[in-house]
Amino acid sequence: MNHPGIVRLYYTFQDQNSLYFVLDHAKNGELLTFIKKLGSFDLNCTRFYAAQIVSAIEYMHSQGVIHRDLKPENILLDENMHIKVTDFGTAKMLESTEDGEDDRANSFVGTAEYVSPELLKEKSACKSSDFWALGCIIYQLIAGRPPFKGSNEYMTFQRIVNLEYTFPEGFPPVAKDLVQKLLVLNPSERLGSGGKVGIAKLKKHPFFEGTDWDNIWNIPAPRLLPYLPSNPQHNKEELRTSTNAYLRKLSDHSGDNNSSPIATGLKQNDPFRLESWAGGDDDRVDPEKARKLEEQKRTSSQWYDCRTYICTYIRVYIYNYHLKFQDSVFAQI
């Protein structure tokens, strides 16, 4: 396959021990890494990456291929922060049909949180299954987590087949409408299903308003910004402004280097997912706003530091217990 949104295979060769693949280099790694760093994507970023994923899916389906395991881990970012879909180990070639939906792949593959209900109920996947995964990804980009997540895989599957999920407070209505039309139990009623006609309807959804589909691979990627804070009280009106002039002043890594695709001022795992910042439209810092933001940041960070310490302690304890167990086994031998 030859498409800018899909990792390209150039060569294969082997020796006595291994088989080697020469692929595109995705410099910026997995999309999931950036979701974890920011906690969520704003609406502009989500629209851009969702549009590129749609373009890649459209090409795959035109070639008779369903991916069957679309998820943020399998979406890489190149040097231009454009996506490249990878990991076609579970992909399936389908026979051509008029509506593009009749032929199915009858094998159970995929990742629990993104598995389509038809795969769980009928043990088969179709082109529409990739659009179910698209709905899960769009939800995760904005909410910061998958829509279906149980205490174990069985509970996750139960949530999927019963369509049990909720939207967090503040989820944008236009994105909510799109997700609801993608996460439909009947694959034939899912937005995007039905071949070229379905894809056209998906592209015309209001969520993608203003998207230049013909040049989606030529325009620069937007600067990454998170969407909503984890707690609505961190998104108070008095702390919002239309300028990002003072993100740098609130950053733990301030400086002149603006090469990072992540907006200046956002540190990894920022606890309140900074969408608002201190400052006014006239580019002057409001000391009171800055003080409130820094206080929120400091208070939230204390909890994150404590949680990190506890998790590290537990990991070390388990590791030491494992070593002692190994020593006792070897001693008996």
pLDDT digits (tens, 9 = 90+) for 270-303: 433 333 333 334 444 556 656 665 665 555 444 5
Question: Residue 250: is its pLDDT beyond 80?
Answer: no
Return the closest-CA partner of residue 289 out of 239, 233, 250, 251: 239
Retrieve residue 247's tokens.
Answer: 């993100």
Residue 226: the pLDDT is: 83
Average pLDDT over residues 243-251: 35
The proportion of the chain whose per-residue pLDDT surpasses 90, expressed as a percent, equals 50
When the pLDDT of each residue in the chain is averaged and rounded to a whole number, the result is: 77
* Strand 92-93 versus strand 83-85 pairing type: unpaired
Query: At 315, is the secondary structure helix, strand, or coil?
Result: helix
The more confident residue out of 232 and 11 is: 11
List of residues 6+ apart from 120 with CB closer than 8 A: 157, 160, 161
Catalytic residue among 69, 130, 281, 305: 69
Beta bridge partners of 62: none
Dump pLDDT digits (tens) for 180-222.
999 999 999 999 998 899 999 999 999 999 999 999 999 999 9
* Residue 301 backbone dihedrals phi, psi, to 5 degrees: -65, -30
Return the closest-CA partner of residue 198 out of 61, 52, 6: 61
Quick check: is 305 catalytic? no
Question: Residue 241: is its pLDDT beyond 50?
Answer: no
Q: What is the pTM of this model?
A: 0.69
Cβ-contact 59, 3 below 8 angstroms: yes
Full set of structural domains in the chain with CATH: 9-215 (1.10.510.10), 232-310 (no CATH)
Question: Residue 243: is its pLDDT beyond 60?
Answer: no
Give Rg (Cα) of the chain.
23
Residue 260: the pLDDT is: 58
Question: Residue 223: is its pLDDT beyond 50?
Answer: yes
pLDDT band at residue 172 using 50, 70 and 90 as cut-offs = very high
Cβ neighbours of 165 (radius 10 Å)? 17
